[in-house]
Structure 1
Amino acid sequence: MQAGVFPIGLGAGAVSALLYAAAASGSPLALVLLYVAPLPVLLAGIGWRHHAGIVGATFGALALTLLVGPKTGVYFAIAVGFPAWWLAYLALLARDGADGAPAEWYPVGRLVAWCAAIGALLVAATIPLVATSLEEYRAALRDVFSKALQAAGPTPQLPGGQDPKALIDFMALLAPGLAATFWTLSSLFNLWLAGRIVRASGKLVRPWPDIARFELPRGASLALLGGFAGSFLPGLPSLVAELVSATFLMAFMLLGLAVMHVTTRALPARGLLLFALYALLVFMPWIAIFLAGLGLAEQFLGIRRRFGPPPGGPPTAVANLP
């Protein structure tokens, strides 16, 4: 165990808990603070190994329990502290190669799959706190969005003079899946940012991977298809299945983007093409479905292998066994 693990872990836990507590203030930056709350624990876990991460997660939960309340401490532990520690632990997990071969590091694609699974599970865990049936859950969401629209001013009119109630119903239908996918993306972004910061400090022991070459595990396609099939079930199980299908659809969309990054590497106008692709993704989010389809095709057909050598073993490095 490295020297300074406990001070670093305590500091990371304190900052993370402070961000989490500030997110409850209701300010416009509340959601931003909530989604960046795992970053200090990730920094500690990646820079000073998972021992510092577990210290940070535990201390943050205990501090919130004593200063705010047991419920807040438990929520922090489940939603922020321990998921961040787990991702940091996996990111530095490695095993020595046989006969002096390079160390085998935990695959990036499995980290993406873990972020998708955690995103779905965290939103699913909030369902019992809101309602005990799908109808109650949808009604609670509609009430929240209705009050939000009323507080914002005059109720907007939809094109064609449709009842604004349709907008509220639509938002209540999409909100859980959007929350799960956004949590997945924020987890991935925090993990990437923590890795870049630790790398810049010279403390990253894992070689930086070629992210565009990541591969999702085979089980990811089963999770996506199983979630889609489960969405036809009645009641709350259908909602949980929708969350799983939404987050793994996001994972395959990222794989589709990785395919585009690899297949355009030899093109002179690569920068312009990728800029146009991301702009379309922002202004026409529905194209994410086509990118996810490209990601599924990549998993079964190996499209990127036709544009360079297949993903090989990780670069040589000293294995860091947590």
Structure 2
Amino acid sequence: MTSVPDKSVFSWQNIGISILGGIAAAAIFAVVARGGFGGLLFAHLAPLPLMIVALGFGVRHGFSAAIVATVILSIWLHPVIGMAYALLVAGPGWFAAYVAAGAPRGRRDLVTAHVSSWASLAPATVLATAILLWIIVATISFGSIDEALNPIRARAFILLDAMVREKELSDKINPTELSGSVARAVPAFLAAYGLLIHIANLWIAARLAQASSLLTRPWPDIATDFHLPRAVGGVFLSGLVMTLFSGPSGAMGLVLAMTMGLLLALQGLAVVHIMVRGSRSSALVLSIIYFMLGLLGWPIVPLAALGAADLFFNYRDRKTAAAPAQPQKPAEKSD
């Protein structure tokens, strides 16, 4: 992929765009903070304005917009909300756009290959780190991770107990035990679902920038470009081992396993795209897989296993190498 330097130009127009992008991002998150179903749906677009500014007008302007949004939320709502926004939305969102832009530094790009996978790994790193730090701080502050998660556990118990009484769940289910498991899974779920939101917004922002002729990088073939480093597989396995322990170690292991597992599932999807590419049933197969992912969710497990195996066996490279070469026309003989 061609190296493209960062195009952040500090003109009054671009500075104004940075400020407007920050205001828009803060406004979206303010609606989310007020709660309600509409706010919950709107939450999925929280990183979008920052990413559009970063990809369309330069990563420095995207960073400026992130700072503006964080300051507005810290003053307007509460410093804690501003900090949460910075750690869960602005930080991972800007970092994803920065890497997607090639991680420009000086007159060169630090990331020139497999940009799509590195851009997905960037928000995963920020989100996982932020939530792991929260688990450590909460455990120290409350004495145990279970005490810190008690409010979530109480809400889950009320909901599960009502479902058991109304026969929506089997009476063999113990709401007390299940609510504890649900509460322990919440930090990992937030990390993984937040990662999914950031990746989806990054794709949308890049497409919008491309449609507006603002995207300076060529669009990659994601199915072939998405190659995670093998260290992701090691972190994933380490997280699985940590889940066998109780306390904060188990909660932290679940965060690592779910975030890295989602990335591996994306690599598994890339493998499937390459394997069915060129076949007559490719559209049908992919439609079924995406439908099952959205409806059931469990297909993410075999996809993650396929992605982990691809880290070491390079199935896509093997298929490309095994593809029949195009026949060459014989050279014409000259008289």
Question: How would you bin the TM-score normalised by the shorter chain?
Answer: 0.7 to 0.9
Please tell me whether the aligned partners of residues 155 and 164 of structure 1 are also in contact (alpha carbons under 8 angstroms): no
Number of residue equivalences: 304
Question: Which residue in the other structure is 2:130 paired with?
Answer: 122
Q: Say yes or no: does 1:61 pair with 2:62.
A: no
1:224 alignment partner, one of 236, 241, 260: 236
> Aligned-pair distance for 1:143?
0.8
Question: Which residue in the other structure is 2:327 paired with?
Answer: none
> Aligned-pair distance for 1:184?
0.9
How does 1:239-254 map onto structure 2 within 5 Å? 239-254=251-266
> Aligned-pair distance for 1:94?
5.9
Q: Say yes or no: does 1:108 pair with 2:119.
A: no
Q: Say yes or no: does 1:134 pair with 2:142.
A: no
The residue type paired with residue 159 of structure 1 is S
Please tell me whether the aligned partners of residues 95 and 123 of structure 2 are also in contact (alpha carbons under 8 angstroms): no
SS at match of 1:159: coil
> Aligned-pair distance for 1:47?
0.5
> Aligned-pair distance for 1:162?
3.5
How does 1:1-322 map onto structure 2 within 5 Å? 1-2=8-9, 3=11, 4-93=13-102, 104=112, 107-127=115-135, 128=137, 131-147=142-158, 156-159=167-170, 161-213=172-224, 214-308=226-320
> Aligned-pair distance for 1:269?
0.9
> Aligned-pair distance for 1:222?
1.4
The residue type paired with residue 252 of structure 1 is L
134-143 vs 207-216, greater mean Cα deviation: 134-143
> Aligned-pair distance for 1:125?
4.1
Deviations 1:138-193 (A, max 9, x none): 43321122345689997554235544445534432433322221111001001111
Please tell me whether the aligned partners of residues 161 and 175 of structure 2 are also in contact (alpha carbons under 8 angstroms): no
Question: Which residue in the other structure is 1:316 paired with?
Answer: none
138-147 vs 237-246, greater mean Cα deviation: 138-147
The residue type paired with residue 46 of structure 1 is L
104-113 vs 121-130, greater mean Cα deviation: 121-130
Deviations 1:242-281 (A, max 9, x none): 1011110111111111100110012101111111112222
Normalising by structure 1, we get a TM-score of: 0.85
Please tell me whether the aligned partners of residues 215 and 299 of structure 1 are also in contact (alpha carbons under 8 angstroms): yes
Distance 2:16 2:176 in 1: 52
Distance 1:125 1:260 in 2: 35
Distance 2:66 2:283 in 1: 40
Distance 1:94 1:61 in 2: 22
SS at match of 2:271: helix
> Aligned-pair distance for 1:89?
1.6
> Aligned-pair distance for 1:60?
1.0
| Structure 1 pair 282–84 and aligned structure 2 pair: CA distance change class (3 A) | closer
Distance 1:252 1:54 in 2: 28
SS at match of 1:209: coil
SS at match of 1:14: helix
| Structure 1 pair 309–22 and aligned structure 2 pair: CA distance change class (3 A) | farther
Deviations 1:32-78 (A, max 9, x none): 33332111011101111111111111111111222223222222222
Normalising by structure 2, we get a TM-score of: 0.82
Distance 2:29 2:151 in 1: 24
136-145 vs 1-10, greater mean Cα deviation: 136-145
SS at match of 2:301: helix
The residue type paired with residue 116 of structure 1 is A
The residue type paired with residue 206 of structure 1 is R
Please tell me whether the aligned partners of residues 109 and 215 of structure 1 are also in contact (alpha carbons under 8 angstroms): yes
> Aligned-pair distance for 1:238?
2.2
Gaps of 5+ in 1: 97-102, 311-322
User: Which of the pair has the greater relative contact order for Cα pairs under 8 Å at 6+ separation?
Assistant: 1
The residue type paired with residue 26 of structure 2 is A
Distance 1:60 1:282 in 2: 32
| Structure 1 pair 155–146 and aligned structure 2 pair: CA distance change class (3 A) | farther
SS at match of 1:232: coil
| Structure 1 pair 73–111 and aligned structure 2 pair: CA distance change class (3 A) | same
The residue type paired with residue 199 of structure 1 is Q
